[in-house]
C-alpha cells in the first residue's frame, strides 16, 4: 500500500483532520496536563530517543491495565506505565531515532486497540515534527524510501484509511512531564546510557527512576494480594475436605482430596507409622544418591 499513497491523499487526510500534526503553543501547554489514560477509544503514547555516537536507543511508553490476574486487586481506573525500547538498526543519530520512535508508537497504538475497533492514536514527541508534516515525495506519491519521517507519514495514512484518527503532537522536553521523562529514561537504558548528559536531565532521570520503582513495587503488592487470595481458597477447600472426611490424613493436599474414593479406602496412618514411613523414604533417597555418586 505504501507505494500507492499519493501526496494528494495525504494532504486530504490532513485537511479532514484524520491525520493531525500539532506543535502550536496550546498543544505544548496541554501536554503538561495529559493524563495518558489508556481508554477503549483513545490511546496515548510518548516517545524519545538517545544516542552515543551512531548507536541510537528508541523508546515508547504508554499506560495500560495490569495483567488480568492483578487488575482485580488494583484500584478502580488504576493503570501501569509500560515500555518498549530497543537499539535501532537503522537510525544513526538522535534526530532520526526520534522519528523512528514515533513510527514505532503508531504501530503499538494500533495494537492496543481491541481487534475490530478503532479510535484516536495520540503520539507525543519532543522532536521537531515539521519533517513528518512534509514527507518526501516522488512522482506525486509518498516515497517509501524517504527516511523515517516519511515512514511516519506513510503509517499515519495507512491507519487513517483503517478508520483511526492519528495525532502527532509536540511536547516540551525535560519539563517534568512523566510520559516524556519515562520515554527518555528507557531510550537511555536501551544503549546503557545511565548518566545524564546535561544538568536538568539529572532530575528527570531521578523522577523516572522513582516512577519505575513505584510501579514495580505496586505490582509486587498486587501479586501478594493475589497469592493471599489463592492461599485462602486452598485453605478453605482443605478445611471443607477435613470436615467432609474427618478420618482422612490432615496432610492430604487439595489435589489428593479431589480423589476421595482412594483417600477413604486407605486407613489413616498413626504418628508412629508416619515416622517409620519417613525414615524408610529417607533411607531410600540416601541409597539412591550414594549409588549415583
Neighbours of 243 (CB within 10 A): 8
What is the chain's Cα-based Rg? 29
212/205 Cα distance (integer angstroms): 10
Distances (CA, A) of 269 to 255, 256, 262, 278: 19, 16, 14, 12
- What are the tens digits of pLDDT across the range 172-210? 998 999 999 999 999 999 999 865 555 456 788 899 999
- Of the candidates 227, 255, 231, 254, the residue with the CA atom closest to the CA atom of residue 69: 227
Q: Where are the beta strands (DSSP E) in 53-186?
A: 55-64, 80-87, 120-125, 137-138, 141-142, 165-170
268/199 Cα distance (integer angstroms): 72
- Is residue 266 predicted with pLDDT exceeding 60? no
For the chain, the average pLDDT equals 87
Calculate mean pLDDT across residues 125-149.
94
Res 283: pLDDT: 60
Calculate mean pLDDT across residues 225-245.
87
The listed CATH number (3.40.50.2300, 3.30.420.10, 3.40.640.10, 3.90.550.10) that belongs to domain 2-201: 3.30.420.10
At residue 109, the 3 state secondary structure works out as helix
Distances (CA, A) of 28 to 64, 96, 149, 153, 174: 24, 21, 20, 21, 12
Segments making up each domain of the chain, as ranges: 2-201, 245-291
Amino acid at each position: 500500500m505504501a507505494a500507492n499513497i499519493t501526496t494528494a491523499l495525504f494532504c486530504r487526510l490532513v485537511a479532514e483532520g484524520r491525520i493531525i500534526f500539532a506543535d502550536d503553543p496550546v498543544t505544548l501547554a496541554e501536554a503538561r496536563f495529559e493524563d495518558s489514560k489508556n481508554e477503549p477509544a483513545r490511546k496515548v503514547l510518548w516517545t524519545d530517543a538517545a544516542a552515543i555516537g551512531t548507536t541510537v536507543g528508541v523508546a515508547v511508553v504508554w499506560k495500560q491495565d495490569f495483567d488480568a490476574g492483578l487488575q482485580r486487586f488494583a484500584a478502580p481506573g488504576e493503570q501501569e506505565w509500560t515500555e518498549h525500547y530497543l537499539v535501532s538498526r537503522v537510525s544513526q543519530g538522535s534526530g532520526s531515532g526520534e522519528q523512528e520512535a514515533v513510527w514505532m508508537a503508531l504501530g503499538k497504538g494500533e495494537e492496543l486497540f481491541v481487534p475490530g475497533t478503532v479510535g484516536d492514536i495520540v503520539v507525543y514527541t519532543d522532536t521537531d515534527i515539521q519533517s513528518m508534516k512534509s514527507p518526501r515525495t516522488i512522482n506525486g506519491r509518498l516515497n517509501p524510501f524517504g527516511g523515517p519521517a516519511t515512514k511516519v507519514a506513510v503509517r499515519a495514512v495507512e491507519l487513517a484509511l483503517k478508520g483511526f484518527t492519528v495525532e502527532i503532537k509536540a511536547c516540551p522536553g525535560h519539563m517534568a512531564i512523566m510520559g516524556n521523562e519515562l520515554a527518555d529514561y528507557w531510550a537511555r537504558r536501551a544503549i546503557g546510557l545511565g548518566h545524564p548528559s546535561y544538568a536538568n536531565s539529572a532530575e528527570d532521570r531521578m523522577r523516572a527512576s522513582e516512577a519505575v520503582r513505584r510501579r514495580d513495587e505496586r505490582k509486587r503488592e498486587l501479586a501478594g494480594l493475589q497469592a493471599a487470595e489463592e492461599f485462602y481458597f486452598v485453605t478453605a477447600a482443605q478445611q471443607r475436605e477435613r470436615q467432609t472426611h474427618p478420618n482422612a490424613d490432615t496432610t492430604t493436599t487439595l489435589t489428593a482430596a479431589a480423589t476421595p474414593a482412594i483417600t477413604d479406602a486407605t486407613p489413616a496412618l498413626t504418628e508412629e507409622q508416619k515416622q517409620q514411613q519417613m525414615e524408610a523414604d529417607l533411607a531410600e533417597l540416601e541409597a539412591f544418591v550414594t549409588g549415583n555418586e
